[in-house]
């Protein structure tokens, strides 16, 4: 060992400690950041026998002092434990206890560290007790009907309009202007729409069913509002259902009509089965011809030629 730092060590308070260290450690070249010279080492070796008893006496005194400090630390710890358990010990008494001066010993440093840990623990417990329990939001009733929820307490406007020959719902939600779009979530379903703004929920039940796949959402760059357009689904579904019912009814009637003719005359030929229909068609054509033809005007000056075939 050629370098040593004893700064902060209790031995630095002993008289002649530097000479004693230099004389007892001949290989040492640097002590507390100061280089050891040859002359300093010679003087330390000459005074070693005189300094040794003084250093040993100071060491014994320091040992007795440390023992008394340890005993005092144990008493202080017991008094502090009693103050925490005794209800009659006021807060003012605790403040006086911690404000009194004590020696800078390892026991006092440990005690201070434990006190800081206890204060931090009590502060966290107080903070956690003030936090309100998180309320679980219920979105639907027991029968599946969606609730109207506005925990964000934002303004909105729902109106009906016609867009591209379709009835639509237009919902204008007054989202905060400076809120980041990444914090906004929009969910459009058949009978409700839900907008989540940073764990704040806005849900609105719709009067009629809408087409969620054809709906779209836009956000204004100036006001920050959300504009949700939702086409209604009731009209289109109703028309398609009527057409489907009508077409299926016609197919059933045609099928039943053919089966009746087929089963009434199991041995009938194709000409017999189609006779009624062909006669009806001929009668209708003759009726049309009779209505469309006009009576021929007779002129006594016109003579018929036998070589010319009749026009009809």
The pTM of the full predicted model, rounded to 2 decimals, is: 0.39
Residue 201's pLDDT is 92
Tokens of 201: 């929920």
Task: Point out the least confidently predicted range of 148-152, 249-253, 258-262, 307-311.
Answer: 258-262
Kindly state whether residues 161 and 92 are assigned to the same domain: no
Kindly state whether residues 78 and 16 are assigned to the same domain: yes
Distance CA 92, CA 222 (A): 58
pLDDT one-digit tens code per residue, 98-142: 777 777 788 888 888 888 888 888 888 888 777 667 777 889 999
Instruction: Look at residue 257 and tell me if it is in a domain.
Output: no
Instruction: Look at residue 51 and tell me if it is in a domain.
Output: yes
Residue 158's pLDDT is 93
Instruction: Look at residue 9 and tell me if it is in a domain.
Output: yes
pLDDT one-digit tens code per residue, 200-232: 999 999 999 999 999 999 999 889 999 999 999
Q: Which residue's structure tokens are 């001066």?
A: 101
CA distances from 212 to 35, 182, 189, 191, 225 (A): 85, 21, 6, 9, 20
3-state secondary structure of 21: helix
Task: Kindly state the average pLDDT of the residues 255-265.
Answer: 43
Instruction: Look at residue 180 and tell me if it is in a domain.
Output: yes
Domain boundary among 165, 200, 232: 232
3-state secondary structure of 3: strand
Domain of residue 42: give its range. 3-111
CATH number for the domain spanning 222: value is 2.60.40.790
CA distances from 171 to 84, 130, 168, 215 (A): 61, 38, 10, 11
Kindly state whether residues 85 and 23 are assigned to the same domain: yes
Domain boundary among 216, 232, 248: 232
Instruction: Look at residue 295 and tell me if it is in a domain.
Output: no
Residue 191's pLDDT is 92
Instruction: Look at residue 192 and tell me if it is in a domain.
Output: yes
Kindly state whether residues 168 and 219 are assigned to the same domain: yes
pLDDT one-digit tens code per residue, 19-35: 888 888 888 888 888 88
The count of domains in the chain is 2
Whether the Cβ atoms of residue 170 and residue 229 lie closer than 8 Å to each other: yes
Residue 84's pLDDT is 65
pLDDT one-digit tens code per residue, 159-190: 999 888 889 999 999 998 889 999 999 999 99
Helix (H), strand (E), coil (C) string for 165-176: CEEEEEEEECCC
Give the bridge partners for 210, in sequence order: 232
- Confidence grade of residue 247 (pLDDT, cut at 50, 70, 90): low
Instruction: Look at residue 20 and tell me if it is in a domain.
Output: yes
Domain boundary among 232, 252, 287: 232
Instruction: Look at residue 190 and tell me if it is in a domain.
Output: yes
């Amino acid at each position: 060992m050629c370098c040593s730092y004893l700064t902060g060590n209790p031995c630095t308070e002993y008289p002649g400690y530097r000479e004693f260290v230099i004389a007892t450690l001949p290989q040492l070249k640097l002590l507390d950041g100061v280089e050891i010279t040859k002359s300093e080492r010679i003087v330390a070796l000459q005074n070693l026998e005189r300094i040794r008893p003084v250093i040993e006496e100071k060491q014994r005194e320091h040992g007795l002092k440390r023992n008394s400090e340890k005993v005092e630390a144990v008493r202080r710890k017991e008094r502090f434990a009693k103050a925490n358990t005794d209800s009659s010990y006021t807060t003012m008494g605790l403040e006086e206890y911690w404000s009194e001066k004590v020696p800078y010993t390892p026991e006092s440093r440990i005690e201070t560290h434990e006190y800081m840990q206890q204060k931090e623990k009590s502060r966290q417990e107080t903070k956690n007790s003030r936090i309100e329990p998180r309320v679980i939001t219920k979105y639907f009733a027991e029968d599946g009907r969606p609730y109207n929820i506005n925990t964000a307490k934002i303004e909105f406007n729902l109106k009906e309009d016609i867009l591209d020959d379709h009835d639509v719902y237009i919902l204008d939600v007054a989202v905060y202007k400076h809120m980041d779009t990444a914090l906004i979530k929009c969910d459009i379903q058949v009978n409700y729409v839900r907008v989540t703004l940073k764990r704040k929920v806005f849900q609105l039940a719709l009067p009629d069913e809408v087409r969620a796949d054809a709906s779209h959402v836009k956000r204004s760059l100036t006001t920050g509002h959300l504009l949700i357009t939702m086409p209604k689904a009731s009209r289109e579904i109703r028309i398609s259902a009527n057409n489907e019912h009508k077409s299926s009814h016609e197919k059933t009637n045609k099928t039943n009509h053919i089966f009746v003719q087929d089963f009434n005359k199991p041995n009938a030929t194709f000409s017999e089965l189609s006779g009624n229909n062909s006669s009806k068609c001929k009668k209708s054509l003759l009726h049309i011809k009779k209505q469309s033809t006009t009576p021929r005007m007779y002129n006594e000056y016109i003579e018929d030629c036998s070589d010319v075939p009749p026009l009809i």
